[in-house]
Structure 1
Amino acid sequence: MSSGIRNEAPINAYYNHFLNLKLPADKVFATYVWIDGSGINMRSKDRILNKVPHNLSMIPKWSFDGSSTGQAKTENSDTLLIPAAMYRDPFRKSPNVIILCETYFDNGTPTDTNHRNHCAKVLSKISDKDPFFGIEQEYTMLDLDMWPLGWPKTRGFPSVGKNRFSYCGVGPYVVGREIAECHANACIYAGMDFEGTNAEVMKSAWEFQVGIAKGIKAADDIWLGRYLLTRIAEYFGATISFHPKPMGKYLPGTGCHHNFSIKKMRSEGGLEEVQRVCKILCEKHDTYIKNYGLGNGEENKLRLTGKHETAPYDSCRWAVADRGASIRIQRSTVINKKGFLEDRRPAGDCDPYRVCALLAETCL
């Protein structure tokens, strides 16, 4: 763990000693986690509970200084934390918990970056259609100097041609596996619907997947997964970037592909419904693309260039087995005449609540 403190070896020994102290049975840590005013960074703080919580109703509401997180004005800074999902804590271990929260102003309205509220309302309207989501989160591991892990410090970028060896690779072209494997175990321990992980095309880039999960859980799991990943990186003196194009136009970007289906798509003859939704997603491309990344999707333009397995930002096309399409239908879905679609447009820094809500709205 890189702490910025001298003599890290004894510091780590003391840290592990105190972290592993046996606490009284009636004292439980609850780490409240929320999205701050940036729309991508996360904040957290701990509260001690006097009883082991067995469900979300046992977690009290809380508050924080929203003026320090870009979510409220100084003269009216009290911002509410409303528990939304509970996970096991992989850092302190069970029975300690991590609580994913929604944020609200004191008048009861959602803060500007609380898109979970709207997503939950939309999904409730199609709950009878059995919506399922699977989300693929790409990211880049950076050193604390904001340069990718494993990249040469004095000789510029690694060979572009050699980047192809990183994808699902082993050996010298792959870096950061320790972080990815710690993250995978932490996610499974926490109770996420964690499905897998792999090294990506650009050296120091990785991906993890959640789902297939029903309703809002996949989006919840992505946010919790981002939090766990960023915290685990602290131990390795690293940081995580979800920026859609972290290292310029000649190298691959970072996406967050969303796979979506409803019961009708997964049933016999569901291919027709898959195609119907694909058409809607392209017809409303201009509206949707603005919600598929930070800042009205402006930075996502750097990624969606028509290169590196992306479609151009200013157009939309759906196709079968084509990773250069905006929306991809797997060949197995065509063969079986039922299945799901994959929207490949969302950026690595998108809010999955916004994306899931828009996908669900196509079925209203």
Structure 2
Amino acid sequence: MAQILAPSVQWQTRLTKNAMETSSMTSKMWNSVSFKQSKKGAFKSSTKFRICASSSGTINRVEDLLNLDVTPYTDKIIAEYIWIGGSGTDVRSKSRTLSKPVEHPSELPKWNYDGSSTGQAPGEDSEVILYPQAIFKDPFRGGNNILVICDTYTPQGVPIPTNKRAKAAEIFSDPKVVAQVPWFGIEQEYTLLQQDVKWPLGWPVGGYPGPQGPYYCGAGADKSFGRDISDAHYKACLYAGINISGTNGEVMPGQWEFQVGPSVGIEAGGHIWCARYLLERITEQAGVVLTLDPKPIEGDWNGAGCHTNYSTLSMREEGGFEVIKKAILNLSLRHADHISAYGEGNERRLTGKHETASINTFSWGVANRGCSIRVGRDTEKAGKGYLEDRRPASNMDPYTVTGLLAETTLLWEPTLEAEALAAQKLALNV
């Protein structure tokens, strides 16, 4: 696999012949990073912290401690509590010790953090409460250690404004929605940037690579940039228990995609957020910057989306294509509501070019990636299946998008007049 340069520090201590005198420290600023798996399954970086002695050779003490298996000595575990910060796209986390392993979020204590430091509470009343909602295995620490996806509340138990999960949970608990067993498959695109210059990985600094074409699902040192990160993330997701279903290189060089699903209901949002957290941690170790900006490079380059595939029980059964058409009709009538909630900066991406529809116009089609909603050839042929909403930006909140899709297609009813008018427009559009 391609090697990725990342900073490291080597601490060297030498013993003189006559006394235990320490020489000055030296540092080597760059070293190659690869991702390895320990016997217990936890990922580790090969970044070196060394203490060199004349008689004992190199001892990598910090790495030994990072991969230390404490299971034989204690029942205690480390839980990493993860939440979404004030920007709505940043992930935050902190660790706590639990007395024993747990299997369900209900076994976990609530916790709190300083919301004034994340843009989520005023300084004079800064306490925000974390409610554990989902558990994943921790691929970094291994063992019985866990990652905990949380949502956020005031001390009075009211969801704070950036808690998008609470609204989605209401929608997905509605009996009408539960009966339809909504499935989601989410395609998360992202871009890797060089750390110091914030320019895509593999691009010449201050310059541009060759035009798009050879990079999508490509192989080779001149076409694929960041494969080690994508592969490490894939394995970390599988280890954690995330329902990841695939990965691929994207159209713009330095851009990648992973897919999560099919996931049912509220589960889809939790799995995407945990997968994003893992990606942030892996790029952190590699010395590469992750961005979910929907149009990281202006000009004749593809943006980054988060296409959301969606189906209900009725769509998956015989006659489902007609149910899909009715869902598309409802989506057309709430186009503005969806666009306003589908990610910041999406207007820079949804231009009608680079496999997108115009942000101002709703459209749908079979096998057409330039539409708002795409229906696959297989779905058309079988007369049942799913639809793909191609409008969400890469930085969208998955709780918001999945909740809106379920609400618009299963709970919201348009007026007969609006429905008839929309049906006429869509008929002309096809």
Which residue in 1 is equivalent to 2:383? Answer: 337
Amino acid at match of 1:94: G
Q: d(CA) in 1 for partners of 2:357 and 2:138?
A: 39
CA contact (8 A) 1:200 1:206 kept: yes
CA contact (8 A) 1:78 1:105 kept: yes
Which residue in 2 is equivalent to 1:136? Answer: 187
Which residue in 2 is equivalent to 1:110? Answer: 159
**1:54: Cα distance to partner?**
1.9
Report the 3-state secondary structure (helix = DSSP H, G, I; strand = E; otherwise coil) of the residue aligned with 2:362: coil
Which residue in 2 is equivalent to 1:83? Answer: 132
Which residue in 2 is equivalent to 1:277? Answer: 327
1:27 to 2:89 alignment = no
Which residue in 1 is equivalent to 2:21? Answer: none
Of 270, 293, 297 in structure 2, the residue corresponding to residue 243 of structure 1 is 293
Q: Please give the per-residue CA displacement for 1:231-258, whole angstroms capped at 9, x wherever unaligned.
A: 0001111011000000003210000001
**1:159: Cα distance to partner?**
2.0
CA contact (8 A) 1:319 1:325 kept: yes
Q: CA RMSD in A?
A: 1.3
Report the 3-state secondary structure (helix = DSSP H, G, I; strand = E; otherwise coil) of the residue aligned with 1:165: coil
Q: d(CA) in 2 for partners of 1:27 and 1:352?
A: 33
Which residue in 2 is equivalent to 1:95? Answer: 144
Report the 3-state secondary structure (helix = DSSP H, G, I; strand = E; otherwise coil) of the residue aligned with 1:22: coil
1:292 to 2:330 alignment = no
**1:4: Cα distance to partner?**
6.5
**1:93: Cα distance to partner?**
0.9
Which residue in 2 is equivalent to 1:308? Answer: 354
Report the 3-state secondary structure (helix = DSSP H, G, I; strand = E; otherwise coil) of the residue aligned with 1:272: helix
Which residue in 1 is equivalent to 2:261? Answer: 211
**1:7: Cα distance to partner?**
4.3
Q: d(CA) in 1 for partners of 2:370 and 2:86?
A: 33
Q: d(CA) in 2 for partners of 1:196 and 1:355?
A: 21
CA contact (8 A) 2:352 2:358 kept: yes
Of 171, 179, 198 in structure 2, the residue corresponding to residue 122 of structure 1 is 171
Q: d(CA) in 2 for partners of 1:36 and 1:260?
A: 27
Q: d(CA) in 2 for partners of 1:14 and 1:175?
A: 32
Q: d(CA) in 2 for partners of 1:343 and 1:15?
A: 46
Matches within 5 A, 1:165-244: 165-171=214-220, 172-244=222-294
Q: d(CA) in 2 for partners of 1:7 and 1:99?
A: 36
Amino acid at match of 1:306: G
Amino acid at match of 2:266: I
Q: d(CA) in 1 for partners of 2:346 and 2:372?
A: 13
Which residue in 1 is equivalent to 2:200? Answer: 148
Q: Please give the per-residue CA displacement for 1:173-221, whole angstroms capped at 9, x wherever unaligned.
A: 1110000000000001000111000000000000000001111111111
Q: d(CA) in 2 for partners of 1:54 and 1:313?
A: 43
CA contact (8 A) 2:8 2:28 kept: no
Report the 3-state secondary structure (helix = DSSP H, G, I; strand = E; otherwise coil) of the residue aligned with 1:72: coil
CA contact (8 A) 2:8 2:48 kept: no
Q: d(CA) in 1 for partners of 2:61 and 2:362?
A: 55
Amino acid at match of 1:130: V
Q: d(CA) in 2 for partners of 1:267 and 1:109?
A: 39
Instruction: Point out which structure has higher relative CO (alpha carbons under 8 A, 6+ apart).
Output: 1
1:257 to 2:280 alignment = no
Unaligned runs of 5+ in 1: none
1:14 to 2:61 alignment = yes
Normalising by structure 1, what TM-score? 0.95
**1:25: Cα distance to partner?**
2.8
Q: Please give the per-residue CA displacement for 1:268-324, whole angstroms capped at 9, x wherever unaligned.
A: 000000011111111111111000003xxxx10000001100000111101110000
Bigger Cα Rg: 2
1:359 to 2:386 alignment = no
| Number of aligned positions between the proteins | 357
Amino acid at match of 1:22: D
Q: 1:347 to 1:86 in 2, by over 3 A?
A: same
Report the 3-state secondary structure (helix = DSSP H, G, I; strand = E; otherwise coil) of the residue aligned with 1:142: strand
Unaligned runs of 5+ in 2: 10-26, 30-46, 51-59, 412-430
**1:3: Cα distance to partner?**
5.6
Which residue in 2 is equivalent to 1:56? Answer: 105
Q: d(CA) in 1 for partners of 2:280 and 2:62?
A: 19
Q: d(CA) in 1 for partners of 2:290 and 2:164?
A: 22
**1:80: Cα distance to partner?**
0.4
Q: d(CA) in 2 for partners of 1:129 and 1:213?
A: 13
Q: d(CA) in 2 for partners of 1:353 and 1:57?
A: 21
Normalising by structure 2, what TM-score? 0.81
Report the 3-state secondary structure (helix = DSSP H, G, I; strand = E; otherwise coil) of the residue aligned with 1:81: strand
Amino acid at match of 1:272: E
